[in-house]
Amino acid sequence: MENIEDQDKKSFHELRAQIDPEVYEKWDCEQIYVRGLITEEDTFEWKLDPKSEKALKYIGGVDISFSQKHQDIAVAILVVIEYPSLKKVHEEFEIVKLDGPYIPGFLAFREAAHLVKLFKKLQINKPQFTPQVIMVDGNGILHQNACGLASHLGVLIDKPTIGVGKTIFFVDGLRKDIVLDKFKKVTDEGGFAILQGDSGRIWGAAYKSKKDVVDPIIVSVGHKISLQSALDLISKCCNFRIPEPVRVADIRSRELVKKITLQEALTAPTNSLEFLTDKFDAEKKKKVMEKKNLVFKPKEEDFPSLF
């Protein structure tokens, strides 16, 4: 009988086999290149203390919900949440067409273009509500190429992003049963279990948002923020199990997707993702791919506050 790890790997590779080899190579190269642009340190000046002169004001939350009536049609949304009240002050959304299947590990190539467009739309329509950090319904560096949707989006819009996963993504030996076993040892609300893979790399944390929850939130660095700061912010945003920016984005997108008309579905744009490696020649792409298997192995003393 197959164990859980074998089953996960089998499903993962079966779905990936659907991709044209040339497309796979293009996506893989793009992720490896974008990974090199990710910053896993704090690059911002805002503070969580509401009394600070540099207090955080706005947090973004993004999500995409799919229509049950119209094939490949969805609503992409960006909500802006005021901090520390956690009230929604603005939203941008668009009815879109996603013209490809979900492939594990390549979610950004299906969804990122729509989210980038919403961010640009916000900057034009209501720049005063531009979020200083964005929570993404998806993973950041907790990803087989260390470049999930949250990280990819953060690089493209040049903003701090945090991956907020609801399901456990298998990577570096972090099987679902292993993660849940670590999480069972977390008893306090606001506590977390560090997710350190077989390689020694810290991929994120399984966070306990409420004392009675049995399923963790999987928090990972997206871009331009440290894991500790991401966890600190998450701890201030959980009125319920899911942090408000992601929860509100999910609720609103589900409400809006139910109202899509046939005409809106027929005219929904697909949007195109910008590929940073499109102008690279074969030699430069080869050099990018040489970095594919490089793994950062942190020492425990480098992250004392997390252990």
pLDDT band at 226 (very low <50, low <70, confident <90, very high): very high
pLDDT band at 167 (very low <50, low <70, confident <90, very high): confident
Whether 305 is in a domain gets the answer no
Check pLDDT > 70 for residue 1: no
Check pLDDT > 70 for residue 295: no
State the average pLDDT over residues 82-102: 94
Looking at residue 239, its pLDDT comes to: 94
Give the residue with greater pLDDT, 182 vs 301.
182
State the average pLDDT over residues 197-221: 94
Quick: pLDDT tens for 30-82: 999 999 999 999 999 999 999 999 999 999 999 999 999 999 999 999 999 99
Mean pLDDT for the chain overall: 90
Q: Which of 94-103, 112-121, 207-216, 238-247 has the lowest mean pLDDT?
A: 94-103
pLDDT band at 291 (very low <50, low <70, confident <90, very high): confident
Whether 16 is in a domain gets the answer yes
Q: In this structure, what CATH number is given to the domain that contains residue 180? A: 3.30.2170.10
For the beta carbon of residue 44, count every other beta carbon within 10 angstroms: 14
Give the residue with greater pLDDT, 27 vs 169.
27
pTM: 0.91
Whether 282 is in a domain gets the answer no
Looking at residue 15, its pLDDT comes to: 64
Structural domain total, the chain: 1
- DSSP per-residue letters across the chain: ---HHHHHHHHHHHHHTTS-HHHHHHHHHHHHHHHTT---S-----BS-TTSTTB--EEEEEEEEE-SSSTTEEEEEEEEEETTT--EEEEEEEEEE--S---TT-THHHHHHHHHHHHHHHHHH-GGG--SEEEESS-SS-STTS--HHHHHHHHHTS-EEEEESSPPP-TT--HHHHHHHHHT--STT-EEEEE-TTS-EEEEEE--STT--S-EEEEEEESS-HHHHHHHHHTS-SSSS-HHHHHHHHHHHHHHTT--HHHHHT-----PPPTTTT--HHHHHHHHTTTT------GGGSGGG-
Range of the domain at 38: 4-274
Looking at residue 2, its pLDDT comes to: 37
Looking at residue 304, its pLDDT comes to: 47
Whether 299 is in a domain gets the answer no
Whether 279 is in a domain gets the answer no
Check pLDDT > 70 for residue 299: no
Whether 260 is in a domain gets the answer yes
Check pLDDT > 70 for residue 302: no
State the average pLDDT over residues 17-21: 78
